[in-house]
Amino acid sequence: MPPRARLLAAAGYLPADVVTNDELAARHGLDTSDAWIAERTGIRQRHFAAPGETASAMGAEAARRALALAGVPGEEVDLVIVATSTPDSAFPATAARIHAAIGATRGFAFDLAAACTGFIYALGVADSLLRTGAARCALVIGTEVYSRILDWTDRSTCVLFGDGAGAVLLRAESPDGPGILSTHLHADGRQADILTVDGGAGSTGGTGVVRMQGREVFRHAVTKLAAVVDEALAANGFTHADVSWLVPHQANLRIIEGMGRKLHLPPERVVVTVDRHANTSAASIPLALAEAWADGRIRPGDLVLMEAIGGGLTWGAAIARM
Ligand code: UT7
């Protein structure tokens, strides 16, 4: 039997600058209000990276914290996957910079682009590589500086996002032990234009800014997340009653609460950070997982269900035994 990818530790990093809804509106002269943002999204504040603070710097800090929690030296890591839409540069991969920053010298490192689903995609790819023996010890990192790709004149998008990083350390261990049970990844490129960055190195030569048809994305989120969660449970012979924790992508509290109700989970079994972090895209799930694991909510033996949807469209789910 192939090994199972065990989650050894998770850790996050949030930049120091905390910006409330009112402060954001004042900074950018936005025609919005704390009441609108909080009611429609659940967001109350977000963290923004300092000038010069990069995706690799934040991701490396989250990775170092995860390694320290697990007591694993960086040299043991032989796979680094970074999910990001805001890499330091087109190349080298942000993952290569983090590979060096943690003191890894073996194995391989690459970035993966699946927008807000990036962490679930990266977890799925890492799980496959650990199962086949291509790697033994993996860091899966989501790290984002969306503050650099927002249009500050578009109140319908710029109030939604924040910066941060989260890292999960995985090791190939016993096939019967805890770890990733399954991952379920999907894409529909026909919906590419409803959530997109309107530029890039290979098209405009610039970075572009986030453009979103919010209502359309919301509609897809509700149906596609419900379907992928059912798919993940069915693949493992579970029902909603088996789920200990829902750790969802943090885009909108209304979507998160809707998924909790679908799974018949009481609100205290759904991990929520969107109020404090806003949408940190690929970093949101590892940040939420790290928080709930660190404060003792998530315990050994718990069944954790993770799900996300984002640009692509991409969406997916993962189930792990802790
Ligand atoms: O992370 C990737 C996945 N992303 C998501 O899952 C996001 C999914 N979408 C959403 O979360 C929601 O669609 C939003 C939070 C983005 C928007 O909420 P909504 O309830 O769908 O609002 P809306 O776009 O339908 O806009 C309602 C009204 C509009 O005014 P009119 O046309 O009704 O007069 C907007 O112009 O709210 C207005 N509006 C704002 N008002 C104050 C839009 N943004 C703002 C704002 N402040 N920041």
Report pLDDT digits (tens) over 209-227.
999 999 999 999 999 999 9
Distance 42 CA to ligand 1 centre (A): 12
CA distances (Å), 92 to each of 18, 109, 127, 212, 267, in order?
Answer: 30, 10, 23, 28, 42
Region 141-147: mean pLDDT is 98
Check if 32 has its Cβ closer than 6 Å to any atom of ligand 1: yes
Check if 35 has its Cβ closer than 6 Å to any atom of ligand 1: no
Region 103-111: mean pLDDT is 98
- Name the class of domain 4-173: alpha beta
Query: Per the structure block, which two tokens stand in for 237?
Result: 């012979």
Distance 95 CA to ligand 1 centre (A): 33
21: annotated active-site residue? no
CB 14 within 8 A of CB 50: no
Region 275-289: mean pLDDT is 98
Distance, in Å, from the CA atom of 234 to the CA atom of 30, rounded to the nearest integer, reads: 45
**Residue 284: enclosing H or E segment and its boundaries?**
helix 284-294
Query: Per the structure block, which two tokens stand in for 177?
Result: 């032990």
Check if 279 has its Cβ closer than 6 Å to any atom of ligand 1: yes
- Beta-carbon contacts of residue 270 (< 8 Å; ≥ 6 apart): 245, 246, 248, 256, 257, 259, 260
pLDDT of residue 234: 98
Check if 117 has its Cβ closer than 6 Å to any atom of ligand 1: no
Check if 220 has its Cβ closer than 6 Å to any atom of ligand 1: no
Report pLDDT digits (tens) over 50-80.
999 999 999 999 999 999 999 999 999 999 9
Computed over every residue of the chain, the mean pLDDT equals 98
Report pLDDT digits (tens) over 156-205.
999 999 999 999 999 999 999 999 999 999 999 999 999 999 999 999 99
Residue 179 gets which letter from DSSP? E
Domain boundaries, the chain: 4-173, 179-321
pLDDT of residue 64: 98
pLDDT of residue 304: 98
Report pLDDT digits (tens) over 28-46.
999 999 999 999 999 999 9
Global pTM value: 0.98
Distance 215 CA to ligand 1 centre (A): 7
Distance 156 CA to ligand 1 centre (A): 6
Going by their DSSP bridges, the two strands 163-173 and 4-13 should be labelled as antiparallel
Where residue 106 falls among pLDDT bands split at 50, 70, 90? very high
- In the chain, what is the straight-line distance between the N-terminal and C-terminal CA atoms, in Å? 20
pLDDT of residue 89: 96
264: annotated active-site residue? no
pLDDT of residue 261: 96
pLDDT of residue 199: 96
Residue 236 burial (CB < 10 Å; 0-12/13-18/19+)? middle
pLDDT of residue 250: 98
HSE-up of 268 (CA within 13 Å, CB side)? Answer: 1
- Taking the CB of residue 318, how many other CB atoms lie within 10 A of it? 25
The yes/no answer on whether domain 179-321 falls in CATH 3.40.47.10 is yes
Q: For ligand 1, what atom is nearest to the CA of residue 158?
A: 48
pLDDT of residue 314: 98
At residue 166, the 3 state secondary structure works out as strand
Chain Cα centroid distance, residue 146:
13
What percent of the chain shows pLDDT beyond 90?
100
Distance, in Å, from the CA atom of 205 to the CA atom of 215, rounded to the nearest integer, reads: 29
How many helices, marked H, and strands, marked E, lie in the chain? Answer: 10, 13
- Beta-carbon contacts of residue 26 (< 8 Å; ≥ 6 apart): none
pLDDT of residue 90: 95
- Taking the CB of residue 91, how many other CB atoms lie within 10 A of it? 10
**4-173 with 179-321: one CATH topology?**
yes
CB 30 within 8 A of CB 155: yes
249: annotated active-site residue? yes
pLDDT of residue 294: 98
Q: Where do we find the tokens 């919005």? A: 32
Where residue 120 falls among pLDDT bands split at 50, 70, 90? very high
pLDDT of residue 130: 98
Distance, in Å, from the CA atom of 107 to the CA atom of 311, rounded to the nearest integer, reads: 29
Out of 116, 158, 186, 277, which one is annotated catalytic? 116
Distance, in Å, from the CA atom of 23 to the CA atom of 18, rounded to the nearest integer, reads: 9
b/e per residue 20-44 (b: at least 16 CB within 10 A): ebeebbeeeebebebeebeebbbbb
pLDDT of residue 287: 99
